[in-house]
Amino acid sequence: MSLCDFCRSITLPKLIGPLTDYEADGAAGQTSVEKRRIVHLQYGCDLVKSAQHCPLCAMMEEALFQELPFVQNDLAATQVQPAAAGNHSAAELDKSLTSDSLVLSPKLDPLGCAFPHSATRGVHLSGLTVTGQWKINGNCYPVTGVLRLYTKDNTARPKEVMFGRERLLDSGCEEAFGLVRKWLNACRDEHIECGVTFSGAVLDESIVPELPTRVIDVGSIDGTRPARLFESKGAKARYVALSHCWGSSDRPPLTTARSNLQKHCHEIYWSDIPKTFQDAISIVRQIGLQYVWIDSLCIVQDDQDEWLRESVKMGSIYERAEVTIAASHSPNSWQGLFLPRSASPPTVELPQFFQGEQASTGIFATIRRDKRNDIFPEHGSLSKRAWATQEWLLSRRIIFYTNGQIIWSCKTLTQRETGEKFYSNARNVRWKNVIEQYSDRQLTHLTDRLIALEGLRTELQKKTADTYIYGLWKNSLPDQLLWQVTRKLHESCNPLQLPSWTWVSVPCGVRFVRIDRAKSLCKSIKWEGVGELIISAKLKPIESLKESGESEKHPLTIARDIQKSNAEQTSRLYRYLYSANGENLGWVVFDLWIENLNSVPLFCLALMGTVSRKDEENEERTGTAASAKLREYWILVLERCDNTLSMYKRVGVGKTYGREWWHDTAVQVVKVI
């Protein structure tokens, strides 16, 4: 099929050329390119008919159709019921698009397209956005689809314009190795930020690092010199690290033990090496390096003392690696890095894109058909592995091998193999975000729940000089005490016998309570001994708990906050908190299921509030009327231990509203174990 007249008329000057006075007046505050909008079809409903004969219109139709589920999700959230979506035919789509104009706009990527080439001053044009209107149940909803633009390497193009790249046919092809080499070299030469470690130390890229205790010597690229385990003994060289899933116990990875250590130092037979390790070795050879660190092979697995020593060094190993290869979507070490890909989506050449005359331009339009689960590292098998948390955060550069693409991620940018910028939260270093991701992930041995964070803890402590104990930082208390579980647990669930106040004590994911503009209400908070937390704060007994809540003062506030918290995912664990006279004070979420809740004496400990302790003392001293205002208090829920007067264990978390309930409550010193 040939392009229609409208699609043949799409040219670079129309997309990024100077604006008319009319266009400029209607797009104040934007760059000259961001202002540009082209009316592609006067009547959007004509698109379906045109798509039957024009391949580019067919792409636009598909791009808009891809967005239909998102429109329906928005409708569902507003309780509007659209027509059934299913798999619409073209005829049905005709009835869904309105007669409003179909508009094209340039899609810009200010960071991504130039890398790994030298950045150019000009326009980085990654694609086109297509904007139309859906009509659902008589209501109109704007929808925007995306077409990607790319060139091939040998395409002649204006120097001031950069485009995306062609999708690779395979992760293990020569073009893929070439792209990895370009990424690595460009990052090393141009990204100053990528030479800074997690602790803030600046690495001189010209200085060759000391190798880990052992690494795999990858041998020669032609295979004449085999791979083997190399004991470095202080030798220096650049190396690569591998982040991978060990897999299930019925098919574990190849490991080094006391019994085969010397054999591995002599040679590791290629036929014995799992496919993921083979592919990693191939990548290391192709990028011109000699060594790769793989945990299962480079640490003697049946030597507990060595394992503990090396686990502390893991943070530094990943941080000082030239790059980390992440087997993102491989569930075990035998599946490999170069995974089978789905067929490439169709492409259409834009013949008049540069000059406005018929020519072979080498500019192509295509559509994304990648699914999030196949592209995003957060959806891969490796993201479920707890050890991957510190491997990803400490690595200065990572190459994620996913089902659909190779993803480059360094401290400066994250980019798909196609050149598009890419958003991922895999490298968010805020501690609460780290713990929320980490706590959901799996460990072969539950006893590693703290050990698997040691590398990260070591590097962060260099930066902050803060005190760390059981997964919490002293200077971030009491904030980091306010966590809640993501699933229902039972009373027996503290397998590691850790203090009740730490998230490590529960064998499941946790989420931190959302806290807005609050300050600590604790007069003091400190650790005593190994696991005792001494807190000086207001303590008050809980008078009544109910499964439902009603409040004349602030019902919407309480309902909204429960919805924003994680409580709705653990509906059997949350309760409404009432005063003795029947006033709804707030809500609590328990860490585990407790039978006969109202028969167990429970207490609220006020940790944080929207008014500081100093402000409250001033109000009490001056007798101001500020107490009538709505105050919010974030609390720990405690249970007294063995009828002692000052020793408690944590059983939950919650929030109360209004200052009156706390007004005459005395500050007490409590010990939480």
pLDDT tens sequence across 595-612: 777 678 899 999 999 865
Q: What is the per-residue pLDDT for 602?
A: 94
| Mean pLDDT (whole number) for 392-403 | 96
Closest CA to 124 of 150, 89, 87: 150
Give the whole-angstrom CA distance, residue 595 versus residue 607.
26
Q: List, for residues 304-329, the tens digit of each pLDDT value.
A: 999 989 988 998 999 999 999 999 99
| Contact call for residues 50 and 3 (beta carbons, < 8 A) | no
Q: Which residue has the tokens 């991922």?
A: 424
Omega prior to 478 cis, within 30 of 0: yes
Give the whole-angstrom CA distance, residue 522 versus residue 524.
5
| Contact call for residues 248 and 332 (beta carbons, < 8 A) | yes
Angle at 377 between CA 374 and CA 379, to 5 degrees: 60
Q: List, for residues 170-228, the tens digit of each pLDDT value.
A: 999 999 999 999 999 999 999 999 999 888 899 999 999 999 999 999 999 888 899 99
For the chain, the domains span 5-165, 180-339+371-416, 473-673
Give the whole-angstrom CA distance, residue 475 versus residue 458.
16
Is 80 exceeded by the pLDDT of residue 64? yes
**Pairing relation of β-strands 164-165 and 584-590?**
unpaired
| Mean pLDDT (whole number) for 573-579 | 87
Closest CA to 534 of 367, 664, 648: 648
Give the whole-angstrom CA distance, residue 383 versus residue 427.
12
Q: What is the per-residue pLDDT for 79?
A: 40
Neighbours of 454 (CB within 10 A): 17
Q: What is the per-residue pLDDT for 491?
A: 65
Q: List, for residues 546-556, the tens digit of each pLDDT value.
A: 876 655 555 56
Token pair belonging to 336: 């490999």
Pairwise pLDDT comparison (573 vs 255), residue with the higher score? 255
- Average pLDDT of the chain? 85
3-state secondary structure 112-124: CCCCCCCCCCCEE
Residue count (the chain): 673
Omega prior to 212 cis, within 30 of 0: no
Is 70 exceeded by the pLDDT of residue 630? no
What dihedral angle (degrees, nearest 10) is formed by the CA atoms of 596, 600, 606, 610? 20
Q: What is the pTM of this model?
A: 0.83
Q: What is the per-residue pLDDT for 473?
A: 96
Give the whole-angstrom CA distance, residue 288 versus residue 441.
34
